[in-house]
Chain A
Amino acid sequence: MSNAIEVHDLRKEFLVSHSGVGSVKTLLLWWRKRQLEHLEVLKGITFEVPRGQSVAVVGRNGAGKSTLLSLLARVYKPTSGSATVIGRVAPLLELGAGFHPDLTGIENVYFNGVVLGLTRKEVEARLDSIIEFAELKRHIDAPVRTYSSGMVARLGFAIAVHVDAEVLLVDEVLAVGDMEFEQKCYAAIDRFRANTGSILFVSHDLDAVRRVADRVIWLRDGVVEMDGDPVQVLDHYIKAHEGLLEG
């Protein structure tokens, strides 16, 4: 079976400055001894995700989970190694991140759809279905600044599941909205998985992990601590944390 995600010896290092955003003044004054610290977030990670598999990434804050997602979404460039996604990606990193408050729902759907890689014609063909899914028929011509946060999340989710991605990258938000809409989100994700879509998602919500993941990768301080069956990995993961709490 072909792979959807290939990560090979992936390393990512950030330069952390203690003096905040640079200015020409600091550049000139501290030209030689700028206070930059190298922070290695990912220290050589290798794994592959076959087509159709759902993988959850768990780990404590700062373990490098979100950095991994961002590298797969090509927001960052790896320091070394490679992170490749084969096929069309839809990142659900932050729903509605690209929405402009002064534009109407429809205008934002068009813009977001194109950002996610659709042509405007393709957006047009999906428009009714997106509005239907988001349950925003009455408000779709109003500026997005008048929306509630739930409406924004619903619209963002609706667009993301309509781009016909082969790989979904999800950061925390697997399902949004009230109970009813949450069910709808899970149904959409199940449908996506049934069509051999792959999911890589980062979550602290272990119930969501159990519900969706076929496999769990546990990241600890930038390296893969454990990789395998959800029940097994989560068992160890929880035990390690209980140990922490007791110790």
Chain B
Amino acid sequence: MLAELKELWRFRELLVSLIERELKIRYKNSYLGFMWSLLNPLITVGVMTVVFKYLLDNGTGSLSVYILAAYLPFMFFQLALMDSAQSVIVGLPLIKKIYFPREILPLATICANFIHLLLALLVFFAYLLVVWIRHPQVPPFTATIVYLPILLVINFALATGLGLIISALNTFYEDVKYMVGVALYLLFFLSPIMYFSEQVAASSAAKANPWVYGLYHLNPVAMLATAYRKVLVAPQEVVVNGVKHDPLPLDWGMLGVTALISLIALVGGYHLFNRMKWRFVERP
């Protein structure tokens, strides 16, 4: 694996060029360009906020900020996996002609999506300021923001590991991308994006069996969604249908488990990809 990493480093210029190309191509022929990367989550979160706040009586303050804090990283995760699934197949004409480390194809896609996440987070902070001007009682930035890079690294490692696995498998079995689509859809509901992990902790199932809350956060996507909220947004009590739940602190132990899962996914994914990558051009 070390030799493979060395080889990848030798081709770093190509990786950078490919990322650049991805970023350029994505919105090349659209009028609003990069704005779509922001409009999409903003519209989604706007609709979600209206539904939850006014139709489902969720009384938590700055609900839209909470949803956005978990939804932006989830969107990165989703797009990175869906795009990397196709990355090798799209690049097949190129790798049939010329040699370069094949992992550059999914890596470039994932990196390009990661850059979109970083840009979206900048807009998120701007949104926080706007909310703060309208509701001065909620502070826009919390000191816990310094932990954000840790979450980003874990998130990137997880997406890269899974992206490598998915891109390798999907090259041979194109059913994989549909399975990934279903899995991501389910993960969206299994993660605290439209709701709060405090609600999960207060559920009757979790109260009867204390391990339910831990099991729920064994899912790295759920743990990351919770962690992003804890880190990005000042703690507030969660109010649903008039019932109040106190904010729970960030469980660093469980986040450590998520980091470990992500690391295993990254190393295992790279190993699997390297074992399969020479057969991509020979796929029957």
A contact residues vs B (CB 8 Å cutoff): 14-17, 19-25, 27, 36, 70, 73-77, 91, 93-94, 97-98, 100, 102-103, 107, 110-111, 114-116, 119-120
Within the complex, which residue of B14, B97, B173, B283 is in contact with A75, where a contact is CB–CB below 8 Å?
Answer: B97
Q: How far is the CA of A15 from the CA of B278 in the complex (A)?
A: 13
CB distance from A82 to the nearest CB of B (A): 15
Contact call B93/A103, Cβ cutoff below 8 A: no
Q: How far is the CA of A25 from the CA of B172 in the complex (A)?
A: 12
Given A103-B25, A120-B17, CB of A17 within 8 Å of CB of B97: no
Contact call B284/A74, Cβ cutoff below 8 A: no
Contact call B174/A76, Cβ cutoff below 8 A: no
Contact call B24/A107, Cβ cutoff below 8 A: yes
B10-32 vs A, Cβ < 8 Å mask (1 yes, 0 no): 00011001100100110011000
Given A14-B282, A103-B25, A110-B17, CB of A74 within 8 Å of CB of B174: no
Chain B contact patch, size range: 20 to 34
B contact residues vs A (CB 8 Å cutoff): 13-14, 17-18, 21, 24-25, 28-29, 93-100, 172-176, 278, 281-284
Contact call B95/A24, Cβ cutoff below 8 A: no
Given A91-B98, A94-B97, CB of A75 within 8 Å of CB of B24: no
Q: How far is the CA of A19 from the CA of B13 in the complex (A)?
A: 39
CB distance from A35 to the nearest CB of B (A): 10
Shortest beta-carbon contacts, A-B, top 4:
A17-B284, A74-B99, A24-B175, A114-B17
Q: Across the two chains, which residue of chain A brings its CB closest to B172?
A: A22
Residues of B within 8 A of A94 (CB): 97
Contact call B284/A21, Cβ cutoff below 8 A: yes
Within the complex, which residue of B28, B93, B96, B284 is in contact with A36, where a contact is CB–CB below 8 Å?
Answer: B284
Contact call B282/A21, Cβ cutoff below 8 A: no
Q: Across the two chains, which residue of chain B brings its CB closest to A25?
A: B175
Within the complex, which residue of B17, B21, B25, B173 is in contact with A22, where a contact is CB–CB below 8 Å?
Answer: B173
CB distance from A173 to the nearest CB of B (A): 12
CB distance from A130 to the nearest CB of B (A): 16
Q: Across the two chains, which residue of chain B brings its CB closest to A90?
A: B98
Contact call B94/A115, Cβ cutoff below 8 A: yes
Q: Across the two chains, which residue of chain A brings its CB closest to B175?
A: A24
A-B interface contact total, Cβ < 8 Å: 80
Q: How far is the CA of A149 from the CA of B96 in the complex (A)?
A: 20
CB distance from A146 to the nearest CB of B (A): 13
Tell me the interface secondary structure of chain A in the complex: loop
Given A75-B99, A97-B97, A98-B97, CB of A103 within 8 Å of CB of B21: yes
Q: Across the two chains, which residue of chain A brings its CB closest to B179?
A: A24
Q: Across the two chains, which residue of chain A brings its CB closest to B284?
A: A17
Within the complex, which residue of B95, B96, B173, B278 is in contact with A77, where a contact is CB–CB below 8 Å?
Answer: B278
Contact call A100/B17, Cβ cutoff below 8 A: no
Q: How far is the CA of A184 from the CA of B29 in the complex (A)?
A: 36
Q: Across the two chains, which residue of chain A brings its CB closest to B99?
A: A74
Contact call B13/A120, Cβ cutoff below 8 A: yes
Contact call B97/A73, Cβ cutoff below 8 A: yes
Q: List 18 A-B contacts (CB under 8 A).
A: A14-B282, A20-B284, A22-B172, A22-B283, A22-B284, A70-B281, A73-B98, A74-B99, A75-B95, A75-B99, A76-B281, A91-B97, A91-B98, A93-B97, A98-B98, A102-B28, A103-B25, A110-B17
Contact call B28/A24, Cβ cutoff below 8 A: no
Residues of A within 8 A of B174 (CB): 21, 23
Q: How far is the CA of A103 from the CA of B29 in the complex (A)?
A: 10
Contact call A75/B96, Cβ cutoff below 8 A: yes
Q: How far is the CA of A98 from the CA of B95 in the complex (A)?
A: 9
Q: Across the two chains, which residue of chain A brings its CB closest to B104?
A: A115
Contact call B281/A75, Cβ cutoff below 8 A: yes
CB distance from A162 to the nearest CB of B (A): 16
Q: How far is the CA of A98 from the CA of B96 in the complex (A)?
A: 10
CB distance from A168 to the nearest CB of B (A): 13
Q: Across the two chains, which residue of chain B brings its CB closest to A89?
A: B99
Contact call B282/A76, Cβ cutoff below 8 A: yes
Given A25-B175, A98-B94, CB of A76 within 8 Å of CB of B13: no
Residues of A within 8 A of B173 (CB): 22-24, 27
Q: Across the two chains, which residue of chain A brings its CB closest to B282?
A: A14
Residues of B within 8 A of A119 (CB): 13
CB distance from A26 to the nearest CB of B (A): 9
Given A76-B278, A103-B21, A115-B14, CB of A15 within 8 Å of CB of B284: yes
Within the complex, which residue of A16, A25, A100 is in contact with B25, where a contact is CB–CB below 8 Å?
Answer: A100
CB distance from B209 to the nearest CB of A (A): 35
Given A17-B284, A22-B172, A23-B174, CB of A114 within 8 Å of CB of B97: no
Q: How far is the CA of A97 from the CA of B17 in the complex (A)?
A: 16
Q: How far is the CA of A16 from the CA of B284 in the complex (A)?
A: 6
Residues of B within 8 A of A98 (CB): 94, 97-98
Q: Can you name 7 extra interface pairs (CB under 8 A) apart from A102-B29, A116-B98?
A: A14-B282, A22-B283, A24-B173, A94-B97, A100-B25, A103-B21, A115-B100
